[in-house]
Amino acid sequence: MTEPALAPTDDLDEAVEVLAGHRLTVLTGAGISTDSGIPDYRGPGSPPRTPMTYQQFVGDLAFRRHYWARNHVGWAHVHRAAPNAGHRALVDLEARGVVLGVITQNVDLLHEDAGSRNVIDLHGRYDRVVCLSCGTVVPRAALARRLDALNPGFVESVGAVADIEIAPDADAVIETTAHFVIADCEACGGILKPDIVYFGENVPKERVQRAYAMVDDAGALLVVGSSLTVMSGLRFVRHAARSGTPVVIVNRGATRGDPLATVKVEVGTSEALTTLARELPTPV
Ligand SMILES: [Zn+2]
């Protein structure tokens, strides 16, 4: 892998130097939510994990049943997660006019919960469910009530959620799901799917265009807590680099964007954002 323009550092001084005076667009990934108790399955030291594909979800009833059983246990955990110091620092930076907006690959809504106003949820949001046939959108909480009624005692039988591995997409790793009863769309009987972009699925075009526009409006792009493994995030780094916009990447471990980074910083996201919120002046 090619090295970034400057060698990776654990010191934020170079990042402050590059970012100071610019209005920033921030691209965030799973790494920013780990301090809120949501594990990053692509972070260093994480066990290998095969993500579910859209094709598996739509094409296989047994798979769908297994998926919804795990999601039903996992979503409540994400629902209870609270924003951390990193999310709060971005709210502060936005209020001061340093940050224009946030593009997030996370579906946990922690930026919104913290108070960020201009957020693009690139990969969707965990709190909504959409019907693949008629497009009806229902709140995940309403579906939870239906799934509880269809599967009395299921969540309790799985055990305390604290003992279960939770993935960033609200997927919990549990074994027995064969008897789980799933729910279909109440309007048309169609397949319900979390309003989340899965592997093998494209981010809606309009959302991608808004994200490109947000990058174009910024004087610099700050990437926080993403290994940029998938093109859906990496393309914004490429786009910024092509137009000569400085890119600062804060992530523990290598990212696919490192060769394009002006500065690469290897520190925790909460620490980095708290420091940047303290050090970066409001652009004039
Ligand atoms: Zn429907």
Instruction: Mean pLDDT check: name the lowest of 18-27, 119-128, 158-167, 176-185.
Output: 158-167
Check pLDDT > 70 for residue 35: yes
Token look-up 């290998």 returns 48
**What is the pLDDT at residue 179?**
84
Q: Quick check: helix, strand or coil at residue 156?
A: helix
Contact 237, 221 (CB under 8 A): yes
User: Is 46-80+124-196 a CATH 3.30.1600 domain?
Assistant: yes
Check pLDDT > 70 for residue 42: no
Q: According to the annotation, is 49 in a ligand binding site?
A: yes
**What is the pLDDT at residue 170?**
60
The domain segmentation of the chain, as residue ranges, is 1-38+83-123+203-284, 46-80+124-196
Check pLDDT > 90 for residue 2: no
Overall average pLDDT of the 16-25 stretch: 98
* H or E stretch at 100: strand 99-104
User: Distances from the Cα of 198 to the Cαs of 11, 89, 122, 215, 243, in angstroms?
Assistant: 35, 29, 11, 23, 29
- Active-site residue set: 123
Could you tell me the distance, in angstroms and rounded to a whole number, from the CA of residue 134 to the centre of ligand 1? 4
User: Domain 1-38+83-123+203-284 class?
Assistant: alpha beta
Higher pLDDT among residues 248 and 169, named by residue:
248
**What is the pLDDT at residue 163?**
53
Q: According to the annotation, is 33 in a ligand binding site?
A: yes
Could you tell me the distance, in angstroms and rounded to a whole number, from the CA of residue 137 to the centre of ligand 1? 9
Could you tell me the distance, in angstroms and rounded to a whole number, from the CA of residue 182 to the centre of ligand 1? 14
Q: What is the CA radius of gyration of the chain?
A: 20
**What is the pLDDT at residue 166?**
60
Overall average pLDDT of the 26-36 stretch: 95
b/e code 196-208 from CB counts within 10 Å (16+ = b): bbbeebebeeebb
Could you tell me the distance, in angstroms and rounded to a whole number, from the CA of residue 246 to the centre of ligand 1? 45
pLDDT classification of 165: cutoffs 50, 70, 90:
low
Q: According to the annotation, is 185 in a ligand binding site?
A: yes
- Give the integer Cα–Cα distance in Å for 83 and 102: 15
Q: According to the annotation, is 116 in a ligand binding site?
A: no
CA 227, 128, 25, 19 dihedral sign is negative
Could you tell me the distance, in angstroms and rounded to a whole number, from the CA of residue 193 to the centre of ligand 1? 11
Instruction: For 47-96, write each residue's pLDDT tens digit.
Output: 555 667 888 889 988 889 888 988 888 887 777 889 999 999 999 999 99
Instruction: For 232-246, write each residue's pLDDT tens digit.
Output: 899 999 999 999 999
Check pLDDT > 60 for residue 25: yes
pLDDT classification of 1: cutoffs 50, 70, 90:
very low
Q: According to the annotation, is 268 in a ligand binding site?
A: no
Q: According to the annotation, is 125 in a ligand binding site?
A: no
Check pLDDT > 80 for residue 119: yes
The edge-to-edge listing of strands for the beta sheet with 137-139 is 137-139, 124-131, 192-196
Complete DSSP assignment for 183-252: ---TTT---EEEEEPPBTSPPPHHHHHHHHHHHHH-SEEEEES----SHHHHHHHHHHHHTT--EEEE-S
As a whole number, the mean pLDDT across the chain is 89
Could you tell me the distance, in angstroms and rounded to a whole number, from the CA of residue 139 to the centre of ligand 1? 14
Quick one: tokens of 151?
């599967």
Instruction: Mean pLDDT check: name the lowest of 84-88, 99-103, 147-151, 198-202.
Output: 198-202
Overall average pLDDT of the 30-54 stretch: 75
Selection from 102, 71, 78 nearest residue 88 by Cα: 102
